[in-house]
Amino acid sequence: MDTRSELQATVNAMVQPGKGLLAADESGPTIAKRFKTIGLESTEENRRAYRNLLLTTPGLGEFVSGVILYEETLGQKADDGTPFPQVAAANGIVPGIKVDLGKVPLALAPGDEITEGLDGLAKRFADYKRQGARFAKWRAVYNITASLPSRVAIEANADSLARYAAISQEAGIVPIVEPEVLMDGDHTIERCAEVTEAVLHEVFDALHRHRVVLEHILLKPSMVLAGSEHRQPSSTADIAAATVRVLKRMVPSAVPGLVFLSGGQSPEEATANLDAMNRLGALPWNLSFSYGRALQEPPLQTWRGQPGNVKEAQQALLKRARLNGAAALGKYDAAMEKD
């Protein structure tokens, strides 16, 4: 199979109505914070056991078409000795890999950040592909204040995202492009929309310059909403309308799928907001989810590191996946939370 056919086959497998992605790509420090909430030490075996719980959930492939793994998890095995990428694939879930190396302060740009990881990326892609990864993810972050993000941060992160996407496609791996406009702060929903527009405009300009094929990427955007410290939280209707308005202005229809990040929203909020967007009428792209905490929080709190809780925790994960699958079709109802 040639590279373009390979990329198209992966996109087709990932972009399916009523299905989204499970983001299970937490870095070492992040998973340690999550485990701390349940009083569990972040050892390699505990991390493996938790990812085993997620990936072996019966029926998960009915609502989840892909899973983003961390480098450590890509090389780990399930309880029966099967490598995790093979476990996912056997359940109809495409295995993917987070490839950026995290964010650092952007030089001479106080308050802005840049994502690292481009050095040696082509070689890493060859290794990841050999282990079974078929898609990748790179996250850029943008802090919002009255003066941030700066123009230099918007341009630098867009260029890194585009360079990553080009290297990924050349390797036959579908890139997920994730420009996250952070919800931290007291900014208005209008300010978030303004920044998101500027960020997406620059990202797609950079993708064009780097000759990235838009039909063979997925975009992982943040929703447009007021900052978490703003005195008036955004309503579901306002979030849906503002987000779709920005996306229609900035995202070419050639992009096959948009998979939203939850960005610190509660599981219920993330589901309701996705559903509201999908009720706004026909859109040029498939709108779905790529949630981490918004899918994982219920199973993690149920599991608490206890082997006897695994089955119940898997049921909690399956429920959230089912609810988000309904939201991706515009068929979610808050009453379903009680089922």
List Cα–Cα distances, 63 to 58, 317, 323, 324, 326, in angstroms: 11, 11, 9, 8, 9
Closest to 35 in 3D by CA, of 337, 224, 304, 267: 304
Among residues 19, 98, 137, 220, the one annotated as catalytic is 220
Per annotation, catalytic residue among 178, 180, 269, 297: 178
- Euclidean distance between CA atoms 26 and 119, whole angstroms: 21
Contact yes or no for 227/265 (Cβ under 8 A): no
State the Cα–Cα distance between residues 143 and 320, nearest whole angstrom. Answer: 29
Quote the CA–CA distance of 142 and 218 in Å, as a whole number: 19
**Bridge partners, residue 174, by sequence:** 135
Does residue 220 have an active-site annotation? yes
Q: 97 vs 15, 63, 123, 135, 308, CA distance in Å?
A: 17, 19, 14, 6, 29
Report the distance separating Cα 79 and Cα 28, nearest Å.
21
Which residue numbers are catalytic? 178, 220
